[in-house]
Amino acid sequence: MPDVTTEDGVRINVVEKGRADGRPLVFVHGLGGSSRMWEGVMSVPELADRYRLLAFDLRGHGRSDTDLAPELLTADGPVAGAELWSRDLDAVLAGTVSPILVGWSFGAGVIQSWLQTHGGLGPAEAAVLACGPNVNGPVPLDDPAAGLITPEAVGALVGAAHDGTTFARRILANRADDTSADADAIKCVATIAEATPAESVAGVLRHVVDFRPFLSKLSASTRARVTAVIADGDQIFDAAASQAVWEQVGVRTVHVPGSGHALPIREPDRFAHLLLGILESDG
């Protein structure tokens, strides 16, 4: 699939694999990442033989346009911010039929932004939201979402463009004391993060929004087609807090024991088969 251009003029790099006539699976990466984060998942034969696999670089990331004016990276207020980040996905989805949306980390936030902007799943068949919250930003201390992310995790995200190694080690960890990520994986994630302009990272972090009011108003039939994947060893988003906030809005969850935030990167085969199981259970 050739590159596409958003309605506000940003060129978006798109990569495609798999079966050309298959149902589209559209993958959305996270902060400081790129479509390369999905290479392992998109190479799993059981997916590639059945689905048309699309991944893209968000604005300000990877091979998409990165030298962007501030108004192309941030907007005034959560509604405008949701609309801004939805434009990338709109451009990629143009002409697709019944796509299935798969977002990881901030990519799950982009998909929720798109759902909010479109008032639901719209033309999409289903959405899988992996290792991503439905709340970004400060909340009262007695709110379950207050425990979603630690200051250390915030620091790793904020510094992604300047200290990719710390960022990589944090997201690749499968538990608090885990140092098992290999050097090649750390170098790859760190290199991609440090190639992301600091302005792009800041633009992502300024997208402060609580999707719970919107998600809770979706019909039961729509929410039944949305699945949140929680990695129990996630060192960015606490698993227990994530479970609590997804329960608040009635979105079903699937837990992955022994894995961390970078589940699609470290265990692409496991993630692909988990994804297949979710899609098959949805019919």
Query: Read out DSSP for the chain?
Result: ---EE-TTS-EE-EEEEE-TTSEEEEEE--TT--GGGGHHHHT-HHHHTTEEEEEEPPTTSTTS--S--GGGT--SSHHHHHHHHHHHHHHHHTT-SS-EEEEETHHHHHHHHHHHHHTS-TT-SEEEEES--SEES---TTSGGGGSS-HHHHHHHHTTTT-HHHHHHHHH-SSTT---S-HHHHHHHHHHHHTS-HHHHHHHHT--EE-HHHHHTS-HHHHTTEEEEEETT-SSS-HHHHHHHHHHHT-EEEEETT--TTHHHH-HHHHHHHHHHHHHHT-
Does residue 28 have a pLDDT over 70? Answer: yes
Does residue 282 have a pLDDT over 90? Answer: no
Does residue 1 have a pLDDT over 80? Answer: no
Domain that holds residue 169: 4-281
Average pLDDT over residues 198-225: 96
Q: CB pairs under 8 A, 24+ apart, for 77-83?
A: 78/207, 78/208, 78/209, 78/210, 79/116, 81/113, 81/206, 81/207, 81/208, 81/209, 82/112, 82/113, 82/114, 82/116, 82/117, 82/207, 82/209, 83/113, 83/117
- pLDDT for 280: 87
Distance CA 62, CA 200 (A): 11
Does residue 128 have a pLDDT over 90? Answer: yes
- pLDDT for 57: 98
pLDDT tens for 147-193 read 999 899 999 999 999 999 999 999 999 999 999 999 999 999 999 99
The identity of residue 26, as a single letter, is V
Q: Where does the pLDDT of residue 54 fall: very low under 50, low under 70, confident under 90, or very high at 90 and above?
A: very high
Cβ neighbours of residue 11 under 8 Å, at least 6 residues apart? 3, 4, 5, 64, 65
Number of domains in the chain: 1
Distance CA 262, CA 231 (A): 9
Burial call 253-268: b when 16+ CB within 10 Å, e when fewer: eeebeebbbbbbbbbb
Burial call 95-104: b when 16+ CB within 10 Å, e when fewer: ebeebbbbbb
- pLDDT for 176: 92
Question: What token pair was written down for 183?
Answer: 């050097």
Please give the mean pLDDT across all residues of the chain: 96
- List the CATH number of the domain containing 188: 3.40.50.1820
- pLDDT for 281: 81
Question: What token pair was written down for 168?
Answer: 């990589």
Does residue 283 have a pLDDT over 80? Answer: no
Q: Are 45 and 73 in contact (CB under 8 A)?
A: no
The identity of residue 63, as a single letter, is R
